[in-house]
A and B are shown apart, each in its own frame.
Chain A
Amino acid sequence: MIAYVPAAQGASASETVRGVLAILQGGEGDAAARGWVGACTRSALCIPACPEAVDPMLLLRLAKFTAQENGTLPQRDARDAMSRAKAFARLGFSETEQKDWL
């Protein structure tokens, strides 16, 4: 997904990882790290590529949680997600299904 992150183009891989670690610790990291964390779509390609036997995908995910919580990255707007799910359920589920499945 780096192709979709202009700030990460040509960035040093090791510096970018240091930036992710800074974000994990509550810092802002650099633009490349923020871009990588924000654009990670959990393709899991990083897991076998990592030479350190850690799970970078999980690490990026935790970094995203932290960054969204402290405002380093914009929060995902999911205000209506559950209301929307319920509205679709009322349209598509029978009354019995609404009672039993939700």
Chain B
Amino acid sequence: MTDALFWYGCNMTRHAEIIRLGTQMLAAVGVAAAPTGGPSACCGSPKESSPRIAEGMANRTMQRFNQSGAAQVITWCPTCHMNLDDFMGATQGKQAESAHLAQALWQRREALAPMLTQSVAGRVLIDMHIGNRTGVNEAVPGLLRLIPGVTVLEHPYRAASYMCFGLASIPGALADAKANMLAAMAAMGADTLVTIFHSCHRELVGLERTHGIRVVNWVHLLAEGMGLAYQDEYKAWRNSDDPEAAIGAERIAAAGEEAVRKLVLPELTRPR
């Protein structure tokens, strides 16, 4: 029996440290959550062009959740979160409560706040998107304001979609969103761009190298406030002159050299 599942989705496998930190933070506020995700806990989204396959994947995941006996499913990915609300729960009978990680932590902020003892210097602007029904646009600023030293700046700009992934396939849209966010940061005197979701982090970490700003995920910043150690390896690899060397031959060999060359390195070396 599991108290709660931390359903991190599939593309979060790029950010193991966020999964670890999220799980640690939940435990710190009294929620024992078992991380689950990857291809075996898919919401079906990657296969939306083949709805029958997507439906089968989503049904399998929902059945797995129901059979786990977990009282709560804590989500990360906004696509998973929406699919849970829109389809999976409706067709398979959702037996657990669900909330996004940011919501779950915000709801327990009285327990969390005393643990935020470390000062973190930063004038931060959050990469917010319009279309979120996960509660993050309210919870993330609230959580960051609990960190000593952090100044959360308010700017009216909100990118379209619900995370950067949605913009990436529309020619020009992601580049415009980045330019608008950088302009908002300049207008507010921000030195740190805070991403909310993994796809945003993936798309925006390159700005750290090209624009001299700091790019961190909200979980990273919260971890710094709690004094939790982490390494953002994806950012280090993405901003390295030589991602292959940055990962290291031993790890590449252990992960499968052919797969890393075909699937990982092209993503890390694409234009920023």
Contacts and interface: CB of A to CB of B under 8 A. Distances in A.
Contact of A87 (B50, B169, B263): B263
Interface of A: 1, 4, 39, 41-45, 57-58, 61, 64-66, 68-69, 75-76, 78, 80-93, 97, 100-102
Which secondary structure characterizes the binding site on chain A? helix
B263 A43 contact: no
B13 A92 contact: yes
Interface residues of B, number: 55
B48 A64 contact: yes
A19 to B, nearest CB: 19
B170 A4 contact: yes
Contacts of B259: 83, 86-87, 90
Contacts of B70: none
B10 A85 contact: yes
B162 A41 contact: yes
The 6 closest A-B pairs by CB, nearest first: A41-B161, A41-B166, A92-B16, A90-B255, A75-B49, A89-B13
Which secondary structure characterizes the binding site on chain B? helix
A102 B48 CA distance: 21
A85 B38 contact: yes
Contacts of A101: 8, 19, 35-38
B130 A82 contact: no
26 contacts: A41-B160, A41-B166, A41-B170, A42-B161, A43-B130, A44-B130, A61-B86, A65-B48, A66-B51, A68-B48, A75-B49, A76-B49, A80-B262, A81-B10, A84-B267, A85-B11, A85-B38, A87-B260, A89-B16, A90-B256, A91-B255, A91-B260, A92-B15, A92-B234, A93-B13, A101-B8
Interface string B19-60: 100000000000000111111101000111111001000000
A1 B10 contact: no
A65 B260 CA distance: 31
